[in-house]
Amino acid sequence: MTVKVPKDRTIDNTLAIFKDGYEFISKRVQNNHLDVYETRVLGEKVALLSGEEGAKLFYDTNRMNRKNALPGRVLKTLFGEDAIQTMDGKAHTHRKLLFMSLMTPEALASLKVITNKHWDQFANKWEGKKKVVLYDETRELLCRTACEWAGVPLKEKEVEKRTRDLSNMIDGFSAVGPKHIESRRARKRTEKWIEDLILDVREGKQQAQKGTAIYEMAMHKDLHGNPLDARMAAIELINVIRPLVAISKFITFGALAFYQFPRTIAKAANEDDYLLRFTQEVRRYYPFVPFLGARVDHDFTWQQYDFKEGQLVMIDIYGTNHDPRLWENPDEFIPDRFLNWNGGLYDLIPQGGGDYYKGHRCPGEQPTIEILKTSFRYMTNHLDYEVPKQDYSYSLRKMPALPKSGFIIKNVHRQ
């Protein structure tokens, strides 16, 4: 039997990305009970993939590559040019080892201690405040945490500016107009700041401890034994501190989950295993990364669809995390679904799928989980707060998504 892969009749679906947002791919692929679907975006023929089988194909580095897979607007804001996200083959594996070498058990333990210390300091400060916008505050909390963990010196008077720039790089990549322009400026400022620090480390003007991200990026040698260009080292160091700040979005969504599903609070406070299940459900349930792109390495046929060399392919991140074939009642928040989860590499993919070393799966997944567990433990064990009336709704059409109010809490007391 031949099943023809459906193709969009619409000439171009670029605008539909903004209209359908996080559901752009699942509306097309899953609604047709398929893993692949063809459409056109920005004049290009694109294969949309969704679900576990789609993710397996997307992360097959023999069939997909990342050269020219990301639009310039994303590289000039979110990721930086020529960085790990755009690399393939041996050069990518070598660079990935550099990132993975930062994630030792000792480094993760130290990250937990640093995170907890900053929660203590912020909780103290919040006690005297009328109201606290959790997203804004945790961005700064994590900027301080990220810099301390990475060995990046952060002067008190620059904390606000650096926090703003790091989050603008994330929030502005999909924007148009002034917000996007500001996002590009934020990247330029941040690259200059970090590049100067890399040069200082190399010249011995800035102390750096072996094993910290600043030291390892400054001293790293590429496959040919050459040090990274100082700007490149800076871009990769930013690839550590920027996403650490972005974890504030998951913390904000976690606070929303505690509010919407209050029965989770006592269990998260008292049971370590439940705390992990709650954290995984926050990462699965709430929208963060909508989809990712790659290019076809060479012509091949998969599920009766002819993939053509150089063709753009997009994997459905949000939709795979909500795929009814993988998750029972996917649109309900059920941490205990992870009691029976087998740790699949291609089903829970908020930070990408597959093997860390062989492909592009996020090397920061463990630190993200550790920071979230530490934060949720702190919130449930050491904080008392009220949630005033506010608009905490979020839209699946706005990427990246966030509760409108940033999640406000008041009458904060440390326990």
β-partners of residue 296 are 64
Residue type, 310: G
Token pair in block for residue 138: 């945790």
Mention every residue, 6+ apart, whose C-beta is less than 8 A from residue 403: 135, 252, 253, 256, 391, 392, 393, 394
Residue closer to ligand HEM (CB basis): 138 or 380: 138
Candidate residues 351, 374, 380, 405; the one interacting with ligand HEM per rule CB under 6 A: 351
Candidate residues 194, 244, 275, 313; the one interacting with ligand HEM per rule CB under 6 A: 244
Residue closer to ligand HEM (CB basis): 201 or 369: 369
Residue 31, Cβ density class (10 Å: 0-12 exposed, 13-18 middle, ≥19 buried): exposed
Candidate residues 292, 314, 369, 399; the one interacting with ligand HEM per rule CB under 6 A: 292
CA-to-CA separations, 329 to 117, 194, 398, in angstroms, rounded: 38, 45, 23
By the rule CB under 6 A, 172 interacts with ligand HEM = no
Residue 247: CB minimum distance to ligand HEM, A: 4
Residue closer to ligand HEM (CB basis): 249 or 412: 249
Q: Measuring CA to CA, which residue among 114, 139, 125 is closest to residue 412?
A: 125
**Do the beta carbons of residue 147 and residue 244 sit within 8 Å?**
no
Residue closer to ligand HEM (CB basis): 364 or 406: 364
Candidate residues 360, 394, 403, 408; the one interacting with ligand HEM per rule CB under 6 A: 360
d(CA 318, CA 71): 20
Candidate residues 21, 51, 151, 352; the one interacting with ligand HEM per rule CB under 6 A: 352
Q: Measuring CA to CA, which residue among 175, 186, 158 is closest to residue 80?
A: 186
Candidate residues 54, 151, 172, 243; the one interacting with ligand HEM per rule CB under 6 A: 243
What's phi and psi for 338, nearest 5 deg? -85, 0
Is 143 labelled a binding residue? no
Peptide bond connecting 262 to the previous residue in cis, omega within 30 degrees of 0: no
Candidate residues 254, 290, 364, 406; the one interacting with ligand HEM per rule CB under 6 A: 364
Token pair in block for residue 74: 């994303």
Residue 170: CB minimum distance to ligand HEM, A: 9
Give, as ranges, the residues between 79 and 138 that touch ligand HEM (CB under 6 A): 84-85, 96, 99
Site of interaction with ligand HEM (CB under 6 A): 84-85, 96, 99, 239-240, 243-244, 246-247, 250, 288-289, 292, 350-352, 360-364, 367-368
